[in-house]
Amino acid sequence: MKDPRQHPGPPRIFTLDTPQHLAEQAALEFQVRANAAIQEAGRFAVVLSGGSTPAAMMKELATPEHAPLVDWSRVHVFWSDERCVLPNDEHSNFAMANAALLSCVPIPAENIHRMQGELDPREAADAYDRLLRKFFGAETAFDLTYLGLGPDGHTASLFPNTEALDVKDRNCVANRAPGHVVSPWRLTLTYPAINASKAVIFLVQGKEKADIVARVLEGPRDVRQLPAQDIAPRGTLTWFLDEAAAAKLSRKS
């Protein structure tokens, strides 16, 4: 499996004045990119992530303003990562997405490709790797991947100084989440899978993220400590921040 990482130009950074406007813009991106991908290729393959900011985007996407404008029969949903819990657990990324979006729109059940967090972590990772290879063929190529940013600089479940950072021949692996009491084992997409995306959008909000946003975007490059710095898709890389999260950046747009 190829690792598509190159040395792209600087990411596009957009600062939205409120979290609500961030959610609205993120939902609009989904809508526009879905329609373009469906018109071009007949389907839209999107990766969702966990966290409160992506949840707000999903709730916005399920509103009457956005939901009717997407052909959900041609949308295929995947996940960036998952906790090793049951699919109805309150900490499950699938459960969150299902409540916020998937149960509210007419998407076929067979188009929802969740990570099976209830299985043995390595078995679940192997199963998701096979699922992606079957769906995409030789080269994974998501149309759009949404990501969040953890306070330690992780994204998906690519945590600092963990083995998953070095994987180059898999789409999905099991990875330990250092210090996390709730489900220390996680399933995560790897860098090659994420970086093969045609577009990646980070969604980050809140003043508690201001320091780590500045370190990742403007600090020294240290991908072992700040894994989000190694997200370099073959397509576009965009960051949507609210004003609080962008407060310590020297450049804003």
**Tokens representing 187?**
């399933």
Of the chain, the percentage scoring pLDDT greater than 70 comes to 95
Task: List, for residues 167-188, the tens digit of each pLDDT value.
Answer: 999 999 999 988 776 778 999 9
Provide the pLDDT for residue 28: 97
Q: Which residues have CB under 8 Å from 192's CB, separation 6+?
A: 1, 2, 3, 4, 5, 140, 167, 168, 169, 170, 171
Helix (H) or strand (E) holding 27: helix 19-41
Task: For residues 212-216, give the mean pLDDT.
Answer: 98
* Residue 84 pLDDT exceeds 80: yes
φ, ψ (nearest 5 deg) of residue 100: -80, -30
Q: What pLDDT is recorded for position 219?
A: 96
What integer pLDDT is reported at residue 138 of this predicted model? 85
Q: What is the mean pLDDT of residues 227-242?
A: 97
User: Which residue is listed with tokens 């389907």?
Assistant: 43
User: Among 178, 180, 162, which residue's Cα sits nearest to residue 223?
Assistant: 162
If you classify domain 13-242 with CATH, what class do you get? alpha beta
In this prediction, residue 120 has a pLDDT band, given cuts at 50, 70 and 90, of: very high
| 2's tokens | 């190829």
Sorted by where each begins, the domain ranges of the chain are 13-242
